[in-house]
């Protein structure tokens, strides 16, 4: 049983090494108002943070929900909101993209994945749909579905590189926290 999403809380991005990012998300039982609103708020959070994709565990919710908009700034949309997404077919042909992740800020690495795929999902209206994707959208769908299974893009690089990237994030986060703790304003 998943607790209802608390609207008043807003959505907060969870950053590595938050353990929620390593858990397996539960399927959405059905499309209701709460889930639909949650999907819209995820999309908003994704745009606010200039991401092209976001999965529910990244905002601390273990539900199988992902949102995406891979269009560039010139041609925005259409946004994709998917519940219970699954990959039905993958091509043998591969595609490599320099991936980043809102939960691993500032870090990028080339990841090679199937170039084309077909995915099934439920849309925000609860309707079953299928989509074919290639290149960036294909990589993005795979990256987001990985999140629902506790997998991160750094899992595809060497342990040495992964540890280095995670250490850099930890350092940056610690510095930001220290700066936040010392506002440096007027002290009386
Ligand atoms: Zn990600």
Domains located in the chain, CATH noted: 5-181 (3.90.45.10)
How close is the Cα of 6 to the center of ligand 1, in Å?
A: 23
How close is the Cα of 51 to the center of ligand 1, in Å?
A: 9
- Sheet architecture: strand order including 65-68: 53-55, 65-68, 80-90, 116-122, 128-134
How close is the Cα of 160 to the center of ligand 1, in Å?
A: 20
Is the pLDDT assigned to residue 34 strictly greater than 70? yes
Q: What is the dihedral of CA 85, 91, 93, 94, to 10 degrees?
A: 10
Q: What is the pLDDT of residue 1?
A: 41
Q: What is the pLDDT of residue 61?
A: 97
CB of 155 closer than 8 Å to CB of 162: yes
Residue 144 falls in the annotated catalytic set: yes
- The answer, as to whether pTM is greater than 0.75, is yes
CB of 118 closer than 8 Å to CB of 89: yes
| Rounded Cα–Cα distance for residues 83 and 115 (Å) | 22
Q: Mind listing the pLDDT tens digit for each residue in 50-61? A: 999 999 999 999
Ion ligand 1, residues whose Cβ is below 5 A away: 101
Q: Mind listing the pLDDT tens digit for each residue in 70-93? A: 986 555 568 999 999 999 999 999
């Amino acid at each position: 049983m998943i607790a209802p999403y608390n609207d008043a809380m807003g959505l907060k991005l969870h950053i590595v090494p938050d353990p929620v990012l390593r858990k397996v998300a539960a399927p959405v039982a059905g499309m209701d108002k709460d889930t639909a609103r949650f999907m819209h708020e995820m999309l908003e959070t994704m745009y606010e943070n200039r991401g092209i994709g976001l999965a529910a565990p990244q905002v601390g919710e273990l539900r199988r929900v992902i949102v995406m908009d891979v269009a560039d700034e010139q041609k925005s949309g259409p946004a994709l909101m998917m519940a219970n997404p699954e990959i039905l077919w993958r091509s043998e042909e591969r595609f490599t993209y320099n991936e980043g992740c809102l939960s691993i800020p500032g870090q990028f690495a080339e990841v090679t994945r199937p170039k084309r795929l077909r995915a099934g999902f439920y849309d925000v209206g609860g309707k079953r749909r299928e989509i074919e994707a290639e290149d960036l959208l294909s990589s993005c769908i795979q990256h987001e579905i990985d999140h629902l299974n506790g997998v991160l893009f750094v899992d595809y690089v060497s342990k040495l590189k992964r540890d280095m990237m995670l250490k850099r994030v930890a350092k940056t986060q610690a510095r930001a926290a220290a700066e936040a703790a010392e506002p440096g304003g007027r002290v009386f």
